[in-house]
Amino acid sequence: MQNKREMELGLSLGDAAAAAATSKPLGFMEKSTQLSSKLTFGSCMGLSIHTLQEDEDHKLIDDHNSSDNTNTRTAAIQASKTADTSTDPPVQLDLLPNTPVPRNQNTSLTLPSDNGINFESGSSGNMSRGFDVNRFSAAMVHEDQADQDGATLSSSPPNSATSSFQMDFCIYSSKGGSGSNTEAEQAERASSRASDEDENGSARKKLRLSKEQSAFLEESFKEHNTLTPKQKLALAKELNLRPRQVEVWFQNRRARTKLKQTEVDCEYLKRCCETLTEENRRLNKELQELRALKTSNPFYMQLPATTLTMCPSCERVATAATAAAATNATTTTATANNQNHTTDPTSKTTGLSLSSSRPRFYPFSHTQTHPHQPKA
HEC sequence for 128-181: CCCCCCHHHHHHHHHHHHHHHCCCCCCCCCCCCCCHHHHHHHHHHCCCCCCCCC
Q: Is 192 in the site for DNA (CB under 7 A)?
A: no
CB distance 296 to 303 below 8 Å: no
Residue selected from 43, 53, 80, 121 as contacting DNA according to rule CB under 7 A: 121
Binding pattern for the stretch 202-231 against DNA, x by CB under 7 A and - elsewhere: -xxxxxxx----x-----------xxxx--
Q: Is 64 in the site for DNA (CB under 7 A)?
A: yes
Instruction: Specify the residue, 66 or 154, whose C-beta has the smaller distance to DNA.
Output: 66
Q: Is 355 in the site for DNA (CB under 7 A)?
A: no
Q: Is 195 in the site for DNA (CB under 7 A)?
A: no
Q: How far apart are CA 206 and CA 194, in angstroms?
A: 9
Number of chain positions touching DNA (CB under 7 A)? 50
Q: Is 69 in the site for DNA (CB under 7 A)?
A: yes
Measured in degrees and rounded to the nearest 5, phi and psi for residue 310 equal -95, 135
CA neighbor of 24 nearest in space, from 236, 251, 220: 220
Q: Is 4 in the site for DNA (CB under 7 A)?
A: yes
HEC sequence for 230-251: HHHHHHHHHHCCCHHHHHHHHH
Q: Is 58 in the site for DNA (CB under 7 A)?
A: no
Identify which range of 3-11, 109-117, 311-319, 329-337 contacts DNA by CB under 7 A.
3-11
CB distance 235 to 214 below 8 Å: no
State the CB neighbour count (10 A cutoff) for residue 208: 16
- What is the DSSP code (8-state) at residue 305? G
Q: Is 177 in the site for DNA (CB under 7 A)?
A: no
Q: How far apart are CA 348 and CA 295, in angstroms?
A: 25
Identify which range of 103-111, 122-130, 154-162, 170-178 contacts DNA by CB under 7 A.
122-130
Residue 251: CB minimum distance to DNA, A: 5
Q: Is 328 in the site for DNA (CB under 7 A)?
A: no
Instruction: Specify the residue, 176 or 359, whose C-beta has the smaller distance to DNA.
Output: 176
The residues of the shown chain that bind DNA, judged by CB under 7 A, are 4, 7-8, 63-64, 66-70, 121-126, 128-131, 133, 186, 190, 193, 203-209, 214, 226-229, 232, 244-245, 247-256, 258
